[in-house]
Structures are given as structure tokens and as C-alpha cells.
Amino acid sequence: MIDALTLAVGVTALALAAWCGFAFSRDQPTKDWHFIGMAVVSVLALVQLVVGVVRLGGGDRPGQGTAIFVAYLLGSAAAVPAAGFMSLAERTRWGSATVAAGAVILAVLEVRLYDIWGG
Amino acid sequence: MSGSRTDEKPGFDLGQGPGRLLVWLYGVFTVAAASRSIVQMIMDFGRAPLAYVLSAVAAVVYAFITYSLVRGGPAARKAALVCCAAELAGVLVVGTWTLVAPSAFPDATVWSDYGMGYLFIPVILPVTAMMWLRRGVVAEPA
């Protein structure tokens, strides 16, 4: 699939983490631009989910098992939106920290997805 | 995930500010540990039953702490403190156990090798959570 897409999601997630970490260090909550960034990363993760499911439907099988693969795909699609909603409720620097943590988690999930697909 | 059930309790906010980050991380670890143990138990329970049961126990502990942080209040804080201590003890015991007797664990748990596979977050999290919960005691006017 997915190598290029996995890389894209991972790199954009790390960029989002750095950006929101910067906002945290400057004592700022997440702002509109951050949410646009979250939307970009979330759309990429959703595309990855769709591509992954289509590839499964086409008969491809991930090396470490389909159930784990789908679970990680769902987790990666949900991570940044969930963190974004929490930062909507937390209008302090800690909302930014939450999104940064969510983006780091997404990057880790991408590494695991790469392993799971490759076996 | 826990994002949607932030109920607002004026005056006592375990899940606000830095607590929000803790809620998020505990929520993530609840999902991670629960899905891990469920998948492994369904796929091949016989391979490493001890490891899978310990992952499930970890998931329950994480879920309870997440719930306590979101709920807030003195009782929830006490319960969360007890659970964080149990969590820390669990990480240390299971981490040591996996190093001393690796043969008991053909497959890893969330707490194997002190949570190394999870960037040591399982060790760091209960310590920061306990610091946060104890700070709540001071901040709250009795």
C-alpha cells in the first residue's frame, strides 16, 4: 500500500506534534490553523483506512494478521480527531499538549502498521 | 474514546489542565491494552495465557483510572490514587518478572520489560498521575 502513505501519515503526524508542542511551549491553546493541520492528518489517516480495507478486499493479507491490522488502522484514524475534540474542551496549553501526544501516538501506530503489513 | 464524556464539575477538576493530558493517555492505554488482550485471547489463548490475562488486568486498571479522572471528586481521586499505586506496582512486578523468568512469558504483555515496547510510558504515567492527584489535594480548599 502503503509504504508511501504510511510514510506520509507518519511524517505529517510528527510535524503536527512538533507544531502543537511549540504552541504548548509558548503557553498557547490550539487555534484554527492547528485544527486545519489536524484535519489534514486525519484525512490522510482516513484515506489509509480506506486503502487498507480495499487492499484486504482485493485479497492481500498483512503479515501479522488481519484483525491486528484493522485494529491499528481504526486506531490511527481515530487518534488525532479524538485528541482534537479534547483540545476543544481544554482551551489552555494542555489542549496543545494533548494533540501533540495524540500525533506522536499516531506516528508510533504508523511504524507498527508498517511492521504488521510487512510481517 | 473518553473525549466525549467530559462532564463539568465546577470547583473540582481532576480532568482539566494537565489532567486532560492524563485522561487522554490513560484512554489511549485503555484501548491499547484492551484491544491487545482481546485480540490475543481470541486468536490463541493457549500460547501465553498468563501474559494475556495480565494485559486484560492492565486494561481494567487503566479504564478505571480514566473513569476516575473524568468523573472527579474526592472519592474518585482516592480511588485513582490507589489504582495508580497498583498500576506502578504491577509494572514493576511484571517488568521484573519478565526479566527474571522470561520462560513464563512466551508472548509480551503491556507491562513486559517495564513497558519498554510502549516507550516506558507505563512506568512514567502512574508516577506523573500520582503527582497530579496529590497536587489536587493541596489545590482544593477543604
Contact list, A98 vs chain B (CB under 8 Å): 20-21, 24
From chain A, the residues in CB contact with B24 under 8 A are: 82-83, 86, 98, 101-102
Mean pLDDT of chain B: 85
Question: Residue B28 falls within a domain, yes or no?
Answer: yes
What's the mean pLDDT in B138-142?
50
- Assess A98–B contact: CB distance below 8 Å, yes or no: yes
In a domain, B26, yes or no: yes
Q: Which of A65, A83, A94 sits opposite B18 (nearest CB)?
A: A94
Residue B53 lies in a domain: yes
| Domain membership flag for residue B120 | yes
DSSP string of B102-126, one letter each residue = GGG-SS--TTGGGGGGGTTHHHHHH
- Does the pLDDT of residue B118 top 80, yes or no? yes
The parent domain of residue B132 ranges over 14-137
Q: What is the pTM of this model?
A: 0.89
Q: Is A95 in contact with A87 (CB distance < 8 Å)? A: yes
Interval A4-26: pLDDT, tens: 999 999 999 999 999 999 999 99
Q: How many independent structural domains does chain B possess?
A: 1
Whether B5 is in a domain gets the answer: no
Helix axes A93-118, A32-57, angle to 10 degrees: 20
B20 and A94: CB-CB below 8 Å? yes
Is B86 inside any structural domain? yes
CA distances, A14 to each of A7, A30, A108, B32, B56 (Å): 11, 16, 10, 20, 30
* Domain assignment of residue B78, yes or no: yes
Q: Do A67 and B42 touch (CB under 8 A)?
A: yes
- Lowest model confidence (mean pLDDT) among A6-20, A36-50, B33-47: B33-47
Query: B3 and A85: CB-CB below 8 Å?
Result: yes
Any idea which of A108-112, B23-27, B116-120, B135-139 has the lowest mean pLDDT?
B135-139
Domain assignment present for B142:
no
Q: Is the minimum CB–CB distance between A90 and chain B shorter than 8 Å?
A: yes
- Smallest CA–CA distance, residue B24 to chain A, in Å, is 7
Q: Would you call B28 and A79 a contact, using CB atoms and an 8 Å cutoff?
A: yes
Residues B29, B80: Cα–Cα separation, whole Å: 15
Cβ distance B20 to A86 less than 8 Å, yes or no, reads yes
